[in-house]
């Protein structure tokens, strides 16, 4: 029997070139793809529900006799058909209808309908139901299984997808769809056979537990989620092995530069900084590339740890590259490292996408010529950037960079042969479940101590109807010699409108607070303008800074003790936590006002309540993950990483330890099964270790 992965969709009845092209758009190229294209949910058309038993919001099949059909004139003209079955009656409402349709739905017609019952002007109503007239005495059979609803795309109907899966299922058997989980593993983890799980999910029987299927706790979903998570682990292990197999320069522990640096720093690193510093120093001294993620809550002092790592490479005579996701953050790192390293006689170079012409050519020449410390944005990834002796890459805010971009760094190492060590830092604490899966290719260190002198931020929720009071609060704080931020958040995902809103707010606050010096910073300004405003704010020349979320990460002004965030309900918790971390960096008690626009949804209230209750980034991250899902949290919605078909990291978190064990067993005992699994689940996803 031919394997379904080798049979093209064009082998199915009714699939011509045009349809095959549409199917390719949703990743369906062969029959295995069709079978793994699983329903999102199900409709129960297996029984007729008495009208009297219908609940609002229920999808159901009903039967009844038409007692009247009238055109109702409201805001929009509609056809209203009354239908009764002896247990009760309801209305069918059609906004798009023809005269012929109205004639066909005359009094006395016997109908079977399917749709969602909703409360309407005349009791329960079904809008635009699917319906058919019943004639004669023959009972019309109902469906034998639950009706699947598939993920689709333009030009692909549910009927067509059902028909395709029907044909593919007819060819499904243990031989045509090999089960790559060895029987020993399946037995150990109590997993059902693959073909049974697939068959069940395309056609659940009438007695299937719809609730269980809806929340993803059914044994058939469990079987597929396990295999998908297992494949993800294998892909990460493959990636890690391919990087580990490369050589990296072994950097001896530095003696001279760190001692000088710490003497100039003016404070002693925390115990956590010293512990993580040792872990990194050990990794750097090895011949295989370091792949380490340093997580630290806002203000835990990751930059000091990064500087210590950089000094180890610099003292050994190599180059270090530090990359940040935004120009403003990269520029801050540039200023910080210049301040720290120039007194030690180390040159710091700068490269960003905005550098053009001669300035860019000169920066590229400087880097190729061996400038020891290079700071920049993603621009450092570009092909034309050539390093002389790159031994360490420090990436700040990793969740903005994809796995592919991490891999691209391999070519940048010493002479293209050596792979640079990678140190990845994030101030977005990543919940353990997510780290186990999303960053399985990295070792993790956690900075779990805040430097002395930090004060927790007091967070309050205020409705925007009290805006005038909040403005007065800003006036009072600045009169006491403090500084404040006023953050304008995204308006419907439009950067342009957000910048306009920031400009309007700036004008409003400048006129309301005439005696204060107010600055404005947003994403549409030139980097030099932004840097100038930030420098003025940092120096205390400006008392209030109106900004968009460009100040989310890494801006350090210890004298600022008040932050107002407008429309906080539009941001993720991790982002709110990042913003709030801009205050509370000095010894004064700091406040964060979340100025929301009522009414808040249930989830909105819950999310903002979490911000008020805790300053712990890890607690916030766990909640954020539950409420928003992993793709959004890791900034990977765009890159396709972690867009699972069946698995869900929050729901299936309890499977991860078993999945990791199973991945180890497969790699050591059944290595031949790894490639087919990667091919099955990740063919359209990220590349796995082959670059």
Tell me the pLDDT tens digit for each residue of 649-675: 767 877 888 898 899 899 999 999 999
Per-residue confidence (pLDDT) for residue 406, from 0 to 100: 62
- At residue 8, does pLDDT exceed 90? no
Q: Which two tokens stand for residue 90?
A: 């309801």
- At residue 369, does pLDDT exceed 50? yes
Per-residue confidence (pLDDT) for residue 74, from 0 to 100: 78
- At residue 472, does pLDDT exceed 70? yes
- Shared domain for 472 and 617, answered yes or no, is yes
- Give the residue-averaged pLDDT of 552-575: 78
- At residue 169, does pLDDT exceed 80? yes
Specify the number of domains making up the chain: 3
- At residue 628, does pLDDT exceed 70? no
Per-residue confidence (pLDDT) for residue 382, from 0 to 100: 79
Produce one character per residue of 370-402: b if its CB has 16 or more CB atoms within 10 Å, e if not: ebbbbbbbbbbbeeebebebbbbbbbbbbbbbb
- Shared domain for 381 and 493, answered yes or no, is no
| Boundary of a domain, candidates 133, 157, 189 | 133
- Give the residue-averaged pLDDT of 391-410: 70
- Shared domain for 438 and 482, answered yes or no, is no
Q: Is residue 65 part of a domain?
A: yes
CB-based contact 246:291 (threshold 8 Å) = no
User: CA-CA distance, 41 to 591, in Å (whole number)?
Assistant: 45
Per-residue confidence (pLDDT) for residue 453, from 0 to 100: 66
- At residue 263, does pLDDT exceed 70? yes
- Shared domain for 352 and 403, answered yes or no, is yes
Dihedral pair phi/psi, residue 541, rounded to 5°:
-70, -30
- Shared domain for 416 and 462, answered yes or no, is no
Per-residue confidence (pLDDT) for residue 593, from 0 to 100: 93
- Give the residue-averaged pLDDT of 508-535: 85
Q: Is residue 672 part of a domain?
A: no
Ramachandran assignment for 11, one of left (phi > 0), alpha (psi -120 to 50 degrees), beta (any other): alpha
Q: What is the pLDDT of residues 439-465, one digit of tens each?
A: 666 788 887 777 666 677 889 999 988
User: CA-CA distance, 424 to 323, in Å (whole number)?
Assistant: 10
What is the extent of the structural domain holding 477? 457-633
User: CA-CA distance, 219 to 207, in Å (whole number)?
Assistant: 15
Q: Is residue 555 part of a domain?
A: yes
- Give the residue-averaged pLDDT of 282-294: 91
DSSP tag of 47: S
**Which of 291, 284, 294 is closest to 258 using CA atoms?**
284
- Residue 220's contacts (CB-CB under 8 Å, 6 or more residues apart) are 192, 196, 197, 198, 200, 201
Per-residue confidence (pLDDT) for residue 276, from 0 to 100: 94
Least confident of 13-22, 224-233, 423-432, 604-613: 423-432
Q: Is residue 224 part of a domain?
A: no
- At residue 228, does pLDDT exceed 60? yes
The burial of 660, by beta-carbon neighbours within 10 Å (0-12 exposed, 13-18 middle, 19 or more buried), is given as middle
- Shared domain for 405 and 301, answered yes or no, is yes
Q: Is residue 615 part of a domain?
A: yes
For residue 100, what is the domain's CATH number? 2.40.50.140
Least confident of 314-318, 440-444, 559-563: 440-444
Query: Can you tell me which residue has the tokens 């008690």?
Result: 589
Q: What is the pLDDT of residues 48-75, one digit of tens each?
A: 899 988 888 888 899 899 998 888 887 7
User: CA-CA distance, 210 to 41, in Å (whole number)?
Assistant: 9
Higher pLDDT, 394 or 22: 394
Q: How many helices (H) and strands (E) are present in the chain, helices listed first?
A: 24, 21
Per-residue confidence (pLDDT) for residue 638, from 0 to 100: 32
Rounded to 5°, the CA angle 372-374-377 comes to 170
- Shared domain for 406 and 432, answered yes or no, is yes
pLDDT confidence band for 257 (50 / 70 / 90): very high
- Shared domain for 431 and 463, answered yes or no, is no
Question: How far separated are the first and last CA of the chain, in Å rounded?
Answer: 34
Q: DSSP 3-state assignment of 56?
A: coil
- At residue 639, does pLDDT exceed 50? no
Per-residue confidence (pLDDT) for residue 544, from 0 to 100: 93
What is the DSSP pairing of strand 41-43 with strand 560-566? unpaired
Q: Is residue 525 part of a domain?
A: yes
User: CA-CA distance, 270 to 304, in Å (whole number)?
Assistant: 10
Per-residue confidence (pLDDT) for residue 92, from 0 to 100: 92
Q: What is the pLDDT of residues 608-620, one digit of tens each?
A: 888 888 887 777 7
- At residue 198, does pLDDT exceed 50? yes
- Shared domain for 351 and 314, answered yes or no, is yes
What is the DSSP pairing of strand 123-127 with strand 147-149? unpaired
- Give the residue-averaged pLDDT of 133-159: 78
CB-based contact 648:216 (threshold 8 Å) = yes
- Give the residue-averaged pLDDT of 210-217: 82
Higher pLDDT, 391 or 576: 391
- Give the residue-averaged pLDDT of 192-210: 89
| Boundary of a domain, candidates 108, 133, 158 | 133
For residue 394, what is the domain's CATH number? 3.40.50.300
CB-based contact 521:548 (threshold 8 Å) = yes
User: CA-CA distance, 200 to 38, in Å (whole number)?
Assistant: 10
| Boundary of a domain, candidates 106, 133, 160 | 133
Per-residue confidence (pLDDT) for residue 298, from 0 to 100: 66
pLDDT confidence band for 102 (50 / 70 / 90): confident
Higher pLDDT, 265 or 563: 563
Q: Pick the most confident of 148-162, 258-272, 519-533.
A: 258-272
Per-residue confidence (pLDDT) for residue 438, from 0 to 100: 62
**Which of 618, 625, 254, 624 is closest to 450 using CA atoms?**
618
- Helix or strand run (H / E) with residue 41: strand 41-43
> With pLDDT > 90 as the criterion, what percentage of the chain qualifies?
25
Q: Which two tokens stand for residue 648?
A: 């869900």
Q: Is residue 597 part of a domain?
A: yes
CB-based contact 305:273 (threshold 8 Å) = yes
- Shared domain for 383 and 532, answered yes or no, is no
Least confident of 361-365, 612-616, 682-686: 682-686
Q: Is residue 515 part of a domain?
A: yes
pLDDT confidence band for 492 (50 / 70 / 90): low
pLDDT confidence band for 476 (50 / 70 / 90): very high
Higher pLDDT, 72 or 346: 346
- Give the residue-averaged pLDDT of 312-323: 94
- At residue 265, does pLDDT exceed 70? yes
In the chain, what's the furthest Cα-to-Cα distance? 97
DSSP tag of 344: G
- Shared domain for 573 and 615, answered yes or no, is yes
Cα dihedral 492, 496, 500, 505 sign: positive
Per-residue confidence (pLDDT) for residue 687, from 0 to 100: 39
Q: Pick the most confident of 102-111, 424-433, 550-559.
A: 102-111
**Which of 559, 626, 625 is closest to 590 using CA atoms?**
559
- Helix or strand run (H / E) with residue 292: strand 291-296
**Which of 29, 45, 38, 42 is closest to 161 using CA atoms?**
38
- Shared domain for 441 and 461, answered yes or no, is no
- At residue 496, does pLDDT exceed 80? no
Per-residue confidence (pLDDT) for residue 394, from 0 to 100: 92
């Amino acid at each position: 029997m031919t394997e379904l992965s080798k049979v093209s969709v064009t082998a199915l009845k009714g699939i011509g070139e045009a349809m095959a092209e549409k199917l390719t758009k949703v990743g369906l190229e062969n029959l295995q793809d069709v079978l793994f294209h699983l329903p999102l949910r199900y409709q129960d058309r297996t029984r007729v529900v008495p009208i009297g038993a219908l609940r609002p919001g229920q999808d159901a099949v009903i039967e009844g006799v038409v007692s009247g059909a009238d055109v109702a004139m409201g805001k929009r003209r509609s056809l209203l058909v009354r239908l009764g079955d002896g247990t009760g009656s309801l209305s069918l409402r059609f906004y798009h209808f023809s005269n012929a349709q109205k004639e066909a739905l005359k009094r006395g017609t016997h109908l079977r309908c399917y749709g969602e019952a909703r409360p309407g002007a005349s009791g329960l109503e079904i809008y635009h139901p699917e319906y058919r007239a019943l004639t004669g005495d023959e009972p019309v059979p109902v469906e034998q299984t639950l009706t699947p609803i598939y993920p689709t795309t333009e030009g692909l109907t549910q009927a067509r997808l059902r028909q395709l899966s029907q044909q593919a299922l007819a060819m499904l058997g243990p031989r045509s769809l090999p089960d790559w989980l060895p029987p020993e593993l399946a037995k150990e983890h109590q997993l059902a056979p693959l073909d049974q799980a697939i068959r069940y999910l395309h056609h659940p029987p009438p007695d299937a537990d719809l609730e269980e299927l809806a929340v993803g706790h059914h044994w058939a979903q469990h079987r597929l989620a396990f295999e998908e998570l297992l494949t993800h682990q294998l892909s990460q292990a493959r990636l890690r092995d391919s990087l580990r197999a490369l050589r990296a320069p072994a950097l001896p522990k530095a003696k001279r530069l760190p001692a000088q640096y710490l003497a100039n720093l003016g404070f002693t690193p925390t115990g956590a900084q010293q512990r993580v510093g040792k872990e990194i120093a050990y990794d750097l001294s090895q011949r295989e590339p370091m792949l380490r993620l340093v997580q630290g809550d806002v203000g835990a002092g990751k930059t000091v740890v990064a500087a210590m790592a950089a000094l180890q490479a610099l003292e050994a005579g190599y180059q270090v590259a530090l990359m940040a996701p935004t120009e403003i953050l990269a520029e801050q790192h540039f200023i910080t490292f210049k301040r720290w390293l120039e007194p030690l006689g180390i040159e710091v170079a700068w490269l960003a996408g905005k550098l053009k012409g001669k300035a860019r050519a000169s920066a590229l020449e400087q880097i190729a010529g061996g400038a020891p410390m290079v700071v920049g944005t993603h621009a450092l990834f570009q092909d034309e950037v050539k390093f002389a002796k790159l031994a360490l890459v420090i990436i700040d805010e990793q969740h903005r960079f994809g796995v592919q971009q991490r891999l691209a760094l391999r070519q940048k190492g010493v002479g293209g042969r050596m792979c640079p060590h990678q140190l990845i830092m994030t101030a977005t604490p990543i919940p353990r479940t997510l780290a186990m899966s999303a960053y399985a290719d990295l070792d993790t260190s956690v900075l779990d101590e805040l430097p002395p002198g930090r004060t927790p931020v007091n967070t309050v929720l205020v409705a925007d109807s009290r805006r005038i009071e909040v403005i007065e609060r800003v006036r009072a704080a600045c009169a006491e010699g403090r500084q404040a931020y006023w953050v304008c958040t995204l308006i419907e995902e439009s950067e342009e409108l957000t910048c306009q809103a920031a400009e309007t707010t700036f004008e409003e606050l400048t006129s309301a607070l005439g005696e204060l010096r107010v600055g404005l910073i947003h994403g549409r300004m030139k980097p030099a303008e932004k840097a100038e405003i930030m420098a003025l704010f940092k120096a205390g020349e400006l008392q209030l800074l109106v900004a968009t979320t460009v100040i989310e990460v890494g801006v350090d002004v210890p004298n600022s003790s008040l932050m107002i965030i407008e429309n906080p309900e539009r941001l993720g918790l991790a982002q709110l936590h990042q913003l709030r971390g801009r205050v509370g960096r000095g010894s004064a008690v700091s406040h964060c006002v979340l100025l929301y626009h009522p009414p808040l949804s249930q989830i909105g209230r819950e999310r903002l309540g979490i911000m008020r209750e805790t300053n712990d980034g890890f607690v916030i991250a766990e909640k954020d993950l539950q409420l928003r899902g992993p793709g959004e949290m890791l900034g990977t919605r765009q890159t396709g990483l972690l867009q699972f078909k069946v698995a869900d990291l929050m729901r299936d978190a309890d499977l991860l330890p078993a999945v990791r064990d199973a991945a180890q067993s497969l790699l050591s005992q059944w290595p031949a099964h790894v490639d087919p699994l990667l091919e099955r689940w990740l063919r359209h996803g990220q590349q796995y270790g082959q670059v």
